[in-house]
Amino acid sequence: MRPSAEERSHEEPHNSPQPPSTSAKKYLPTGFFSGYPTRLTAHRGERRPGSDQGDVQNVARARQVRAEITRQAILDGAAVAFDLGGFEGTSLSDVVRNAGVTKGALYFHFPSKEALARTLMDEQLLIAERVPATDDPGLQTVIDLSHQMAHGLRTDVRIRAGIRLVIEFGSFTHPDPTPYDAWIDTCRTCLTPAQQRGDIHPSLDIQDLSTLLVGAFTGIQVTSHVRTRRQDLHTRVTDLWNFLLPTIVPPQRIALFHPTGTPGTIPITSAH
């Protein structure tokens, strides 16, 4: 005997998309999952008002999650390839092999190898966000930034790849000063109020000092990479500040600054 329509409606629950796995969370803003329903209880023939619209939104959200996971995997794979081979020595086949995705997925997110490289170059500028926010930036902020960048270069392949690409793009066929100018601007923004409150000699030109610092750090990290695979990078950055501070800071204020970085704010871990 065939079951009635009412019986079949209870035997065939409406399947709804399930929330993505928790592993997706590391690529998503905090709170992304707070509104994601864990289950839809309506059955066929018992549709709740607005449930169709909710289903569509949930499917769209799940697709966004999967797309972002794929995008981040591509960037991770590209970073490994660029860190090892540089821009010219890396092919898109290297990227998809490292990322574990198809070329179709890669082209969906990034139209070219240069677009991938530009994204990684832009990311290295975000290192400034890792320094604790302050309403009163100054010379110590720049010291901490230099050590935070050193830490990123030793532990984060995406930072290493971004910096390598910045140097390559700034040195070869089509020089691009944009990343350097951005770092110089960051230094100037911090050092200008420092000079105004007497932490830097009034006779010094802050733009020139900022340009010198960016150039010095660039040279130091390249030399450290070639000589020790950056094992001594924090030491070399500390040397920079130990030599520089007596030149730019009035003697009575030198004791206010920590050449090794603000205690407790710079993690020191082994390189990966």
Contacting residues for 102 by C-beta, under 8 A, at least 6 apart: 96
Ramachandran region, residue 102 (left: φ > 0; alpha: ψ -120 to 50; beta: rest): beta
pLDDT band of residue 127 (cuts 50, 70, 90) is low
List of E strands, the chain: none
CA-to-CA distance for 37 and 188, rounded, in angstroms? 48
DSSP string computed for 111-151 = SSHHHHHHHHHHHGGGGGGGSPP-SS--HHHHHHHHHHHHH
CA-to-CA distance for 44 and 232, rounded, in angstroms? 66
Q: Taking 90 as the threshold, does the pLDDT of residue 48 lie above it?
A: no
pLDDT band of residue 31 (cuts 50, 70, 90) is very low
Residue-wise pLDDT tens digits, 174-188: 677 888 898 999 999
Contacting residues for 46 by C-beta, under 8 A, at least 6 apart: 9
- The CATH number of 121-256, from 1.10.10.10, 1.10.8.640, 2.40.50.140, 1.10.357.10, is 1.10.357.10
Domain with CATH 1.10.357.10 in the chain: 121-256
